[in-house]
Structure 1
């Protein structure tokens, strides 16, 4: 019986809106407010942005559309007059910027008079049964888009990609989000399983016949994502809350039916109002849903595949890939001792100079290198490695117009590098010895079916 409830394979009774009893006036007002906020202001806006990206609209255009759908310039006024915050719509990678939070507050403010006007104009309507079904369809498609996007970048691991520097960075130096990313990236099967659950929920949500099962699975997925974002301080809390609201609205009727079935109560066929008045219209709408789902699946797969090979776990590796200990460091002919003074600050804001003594240099991606100082802090910079000329250029910017250091290198042995060049205008020479990655249990331990004792160190 539970399976029948989830999959909705039992007979569905079509009911015309006029037959359904009159909704309570409070329910009608709450629905109007929810439709404006969740439907149009959140789910509709997300779906618009997602479709623009899948159709290849330039990011600058998408950002400009996002600015106006955030109710600019009213949001700017709310930010300055109510919160004393200057709204900046610059894309930073964070979903919890002040601009986004203020935009949601502005949306709630705007929804109040819109709901009031709608309630006055449409006060005689007994219910919104058919519009409610369209509302659910909008939430479903928006969820399909979001779950496919976040799911595919886990199935093709690129959201939490493995970085070599995490092996030498002290645990206490990492932020909670970095800890979450590091532990997830250490196990590709785990990350892929998380993504597979999101993709499965999205695919089930595409068709009405499986949407009930998909919405219940999406509740579990969305709750897990929300908990991780809240407990590990991931700056996507606002959007995670929105997704959870979508799935809560979608799954609530089916969860109630599941609970009733588990309690041994009779579960009747669920009345369903047709979205369109004719069978042909219903078939066209169903076909459109399938085509939309296929399009979103294809677009997100391509995007995730590109990300997987660009910055994910399938990305190219540096030609000097590895962790290298700095065993000899000299400025001119004078060797710099391995000393560190934690009381001294670095006035240059992280830019290395010749007097800095490095503990390690990490070559991970071809476009950059990471240096670990003697206090275990990490600094990363754009880099260019010319294997033909055996040269390394360290810069402030990715175009390498502002060079920080240039080195020539030789590799007398596979596990040894000699770097000579200029850093901060002074001659520097370094000897690097490669670290055997097998010494790190995080990557070498592997999986064991049989263990005499817990391996916990």
Structure 2
């Protein structure tokens, strides 16, 4: 009986230690609950589960929670930071000034909420049940974003292969972010492996038993993404940095056990968390709901990614005249134009790519244009891209074309009001080492240039 009593006392002591949080732990939880909860909602992380219904939502919902908050955030930007900020929905940047203002507001609200909460609820010994629900929410937000991030790499959309115009652009003219995009996009297998790690991490997060492993994989993946964003100036630093923090929040309750196993090489007890539901049946239903959410997120994301791949990505059909064409002869107003680098009117090359059309001047500069090729009528209409929103492209040239051979092209028409004739020869795209250098097991000398 004494042995049994001693064990009971020891168990009661352990449980009491687990249930009595110290003051700093309670304050840290209150702040984390307010900050990360508001941040996830404000950045719209749960919107991942809207899936196929995103396009059917009203503007304030489909554009994210920041959309209705914009007037308030603009006011804070003016009054606090003396800066005019605005939400640019078509920008694609996650580091806009208005988003930094939003993070500042969330931080201020979280600090105030923590102070008020700590005063009004200072006698509560712990928040075990609320903490368990909070971890479920954070885990599902992180899981959804990992699947979004990973799918765009697993189906290589985020970093596409180098465009034809990129092949003609000097390396020194690329900004840092483009260097990273082209580096990853040049190796689709590498990009797909990065994406698979992120997708697997996200999927593991949907199961409570594998959530720790999923959070560890997500932490490593997003830490790499965050470092790349910081060092290559990719404008997704806010989101990537917070996904790293969310991974740490999910891992925090297991920190001691992970340290015992991975660092101190000690044995550790199984994790003990408060049950959110009393019966085994309800617990299994909760697990099923989380798995269903994961499947729903995949169903909502993967078909759209595949559609984008087939319509605008690497699976899209190549346009007529696809390739890089070198201008061997150029005549204007009936007179041949010599290929001088100082000539501002003569063309050096013409590019027909999936992403559009461009021509290269004699000084090497590339001009992107809106080109429409009618293969049946053998005509090309070329317009200058519009400068502002709502502006219509202005037509600058119309041509008829004929091909005497698959790699020979002749254009006749009008360019900027002048009659022109061009003779073109198609370049072999494999003449670019970036496209022709393949994998080799044996290399006596490295192939760097």
Same fold (TM over 0.5): yes
Match of 2:319 in 1: 318
Determine the C-alpha separation between the residues in 2 that align with 1:423 and 1:220: 54
Q: 2:430 aligns with which of 416, 421, 438?
A: 438
Judge conservation of contact 2:40–2:141 (CA < 8 Å) in 1.
Answer: no
Which structure would you say has the larger RCO, counting Cα contacts within 8 Å and 6 or more residues apart?
A: 1
More helix by share: 2
Determine the C-alpha separation between the residues in 2 that align with 1:235 and 1:333: 49
Judge conservation of contact 1:53–1:62 (CA < 8 Å) in 2.
Answer: no
Q: 1:393 aligns with which of 378, 381, 384?
A: 381
Determine the C-alpha separation between the residues in 2 that align with 1:174 and 1:402: 28
In the alignment, is residue 41 of structure 1 matched against residue 39 of structure 2?
A: yes
Bigger mean CA offset, 101-110 vs 47-56: 47-56
Q: Deviations over 1:308-357 (max 9, x none)?
A: 1122211221111111112222221123332335xxxxxxxxxxxx9533
Judge conservation of contact 2:40–2:46 (CA < 8 Å) in 1.
Answer: no
Deviation at 1:295, TM superposition (A): 0.4
Deviation at 1:43, TM superposition (A): 5.6
Equivalences for residues 265-276 of structure 1 within 5 A: 265-276=266-277
Match of 2:169 in 1: 169
Bigger mean CA offset, 367-376 vs 187-196: 367-376
Determine the C-alpha separation between the residues in 2 that align with 1:385 and 1:17: 74
Determine the C-alpha separation between the residues in 2 that align with 1:376 and 1:425: 23
- Unpaired stretches in structure 2, ≥5 consecutive residues: 1-10
Determine the C-alpha separation between the residues in 2 that align with 1:420 and 1:326: 13
Q: TM-score, normalised by structure 2?
A: 0.89
Match of 1:26 in 2: 24
Match of 1:369 in 2: 357
Deviation at 1:117, TM superposition (A): 2.6
- Unpaired stretches in structure 1, ≥5 consecutive residues: 1-12, 342-353
Determine the C-alpha separation between the residues in 2 that align with 1:253 and 1:374: 63
In the alignment, is residue 405 of structure 1 matched against residue 397 of structure 2?
A: yes
- 244 and 405 in structure 1: CA distance in 2 versus 1, 3 angstrom threshold: same
- 110 and 16 in structure 1: CA distance in 2 versus 1, 3 angstrom threshold: farther
Deviation at 1:239, TM superposition (A): 0.7
- 65 and 202 in structure 1: CA distance in 2 versus 1, 3 angstrom threshold: closer
Determine the C-alpha separation between the residues in 1 that align with 2:404 and 2:134: 67
Deviation at 1:286, TM superposition (A): 1.1
Runs of 4+ in structure 1 over 6 Å off: 15-19
Deviation at 1:264, TM superposition (A): 2.5
Deviation at 1:51, TM superposition (A): 2.8
Determine the C-alpha separation between the residues in 2 that align with 1:359 and 1:58: 47
In the alignment, is residue 328 of structure 1 matched against residue 329 of structure 2?
A: yes
Alpha-carbon RMSD across the aligned residues, in angstroms, is: 2.5
Provide the aligned length of Structure 1 versus Structure 2: 430
Q: 1:358 aligns with which of 326, 336, 347?
A: 347
Determine the C-alpha separation between the residues in 2 that align with 1:50 and 1:264: 39
Match of 1:351 in 2: none
Q: TM-score, normalised by structure 1?
A: 0.87
